[in-house]
């Protein structure tokens, strides 16, 4: 592979120094939903303004190695006319792009989803690469419910993730592969562990089959958690132990890094769980274990901002504070 060294260097830089990624790649529909809940008008102007709040936070490069963007944001700029991509590069933050196009029903598998976006991937990758995007994300959704997930869902999503990862690497772009076992439901934590390990094993089999270079790839998994309808929360120790066991069993040591999604956990829990993994197991882990959070890094900032200029500084302070907390969690030094 002609881009191998470059891919490996970029992937390493994305998880270096106990820092991680921020996902600011909510689709227009998802961001509008969050705006609606926070009483913010759902317009292109407000979406741009919110992205500016985050991207121009002074000092983000201290805590964030890379930012995952949505297509709309890639083409936007600050109010003073600096393209967002330039602002990120100047802050020392590598820009990346969400490449999946959401999910659709998986045929013959009622209640299950498969991710869309493979058809024109090669063309889109070439265009984003030209614009200077250096990594990309693709999210698969796996739901636990009674007999679900089916083997059909696990296999279809693993294959799509591997097809996407191979296409990314061919274009010189580092793939972030995200097989998300979602928290919805009332299942026990052990069931989440079982399904997460199954999905990861299948994923790495497909990545191998499609010749993906693991040293130039970042895995973005869910933490192993009980379903969100279960009343009793798992302790950070239990989450850390089961998550690490699952990853050690299923993820090859060659992978450049692991950057978790937060999946709807509150910021405090997401940081505490990440911290417990690094505090207890860092020396046993073959990869850096860090964050690629959206909600657990900037949902509080969105609520503080609330669409008002006078709140920008306070919103940025909240974003920076959560960045700092999670960098500390990357070292096992987070104090709740």
Contact positions toward ligand 13P, by CB under 6 A?
23, 139, 178, 261-263, 293-296
What are the C-alpha distances in Å from 15 to residues 143, 291, 321, 327? 28, 9, 19, 11
Where helices occur in the chain by DSSP H, the ranges are: 4-14, 28-37, 44-55, 71-74, 84-90, 121-131, 151-170, 189-209, 236-250, 267-281, 295-305, 312-330
Cα gap 100→118, rounded to integer Å = 8
**Least distance (Å) from ligand 13P to the CB of residue 180?**
7
When the beta carbons of 23 and 55 are compared against ligand 13P, the nearer one is 23
Cα gap 163→184, rounded to integer Å = 27
Candidates 19, 98, 137, 220; catalytic one:
220
Asked about 228 being catalytic, the answer comes back as no
**Least distance (Å) from ligand 13P to the CB of residue 210?**
22
Burial class of residue 32 (count of CB atoms within 10 Å of its CB; 0-12, 13-18, 19+): middle
Output the DSSP codes for 164-225: HHHHHHHTT-EEEEEEEE---SS--HHHHHHHHHHHHHHHHHHHHHTT--GGG-EE-PPP--
SS3 100: coil
SS3 248: helix
**Least distance (Å) from ligand 13P to the CB of residue 1?**
26
When the beta carbons of 86 and 184 are compared against ligand 13P, the nearer one is 184
**Least distance (Å) from ligand 13P to the CB of residue 79?**
26
Number of C-beta neighbours around residue 231 at 10 A: 6
When the beta carbons of 4 and 175 are compared against ligand 13P, the nearer one is 175
- CA-based nearest residue to 262, from 231, 245, 239, 246: 239
**Least distance (Å) from ligand 13P to the CB of residue 271?**
12
When the beta carbons of 10 and 262 are compared against ligand 13P, the nearer one is 262
Rounded to 5 degrees, φ, ψ at 75 are: -95, 5
Asked about 52 being catalytic, the answer comes back as no
When the beta carbons of 23 and 322 are compared against ligand 13P, the nearer one is 23
Candidates 178, 197, 202, 213; catalytic one:
178
When the beta carbons of 243 and 294 are compared against ligand 13P, the nearer one is 294
**Least distance (Å) from ligand 13P to the CB of residue 267?**
10
Any idea which residues carry the catalytic annotation?
A: 178, 220
């Amino acid at each position: 592979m002609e881009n191998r060294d470059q891919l490996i260097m970029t992937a390493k830089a994305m998880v270096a120094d106990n820092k991680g990624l921020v996902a600011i790649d909510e689709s227009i529909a998802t961001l509008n939903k969050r705006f609606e809940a926070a009483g913010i008008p759902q317009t292109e102007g407000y979406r741009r303004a919110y992205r500016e709040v985050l991207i121009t936070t002074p000092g983000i490069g201290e805590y964030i190695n890379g930012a995952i963007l949505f297509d709309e944001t890639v083409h936007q700029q600050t109010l003073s006319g600096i393209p967002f991509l330039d602002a990120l590069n100047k802050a020392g933050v590598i820009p990346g792009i969400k490449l999946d196009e959401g999910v659709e029903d998986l045929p013959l598998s009622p209640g299950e989803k498969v991710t869309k976006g493979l058809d024109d991937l090669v063309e889109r990758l070439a265009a984003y690469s030209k614009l200077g995007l250096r990594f990309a994300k693709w999210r698969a959704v796996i739901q636990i419910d009674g007999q679900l997930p089916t083997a059909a869902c696990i296999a279809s999503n693993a294959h799509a993730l591997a097809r996407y990862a191979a296409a990314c690497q061919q274009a010189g772009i580092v793939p972030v592969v995200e097989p998300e076992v979602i928290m919805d439901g009332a299942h026990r934590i052990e069931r989440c562990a079982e399904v997460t390990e199954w999905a990861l094993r299948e994923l790495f089999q497909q990545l191998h089959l499609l010749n993906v270079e693991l040293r130039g790839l970042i895995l973005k998994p869910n933490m192993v958690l009980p379903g969100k309808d279960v009343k009793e929360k798992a302790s950070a120790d239990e989450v850390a132990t089961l998550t690490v066991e699952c990853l050690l069993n299923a993820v090859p040591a060659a992978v450049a890094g692991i950057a978790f999604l937060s999946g709807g956990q509150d910021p405090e829990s997401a940081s505490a769980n990440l911290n417990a993994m690094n505090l207890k197991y860092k020396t046993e882990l073959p990869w850096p274990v860090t964050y690629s959070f959206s909600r657990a890094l900037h949902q509080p900032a969105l609520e503080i901002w609330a669409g008002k200029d006078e709140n920008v500084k306070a919103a940025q302070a909240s974003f920076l504070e959560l960045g700092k907390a999670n960098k500390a969690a990357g070292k096992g030094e987070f104090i709740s």
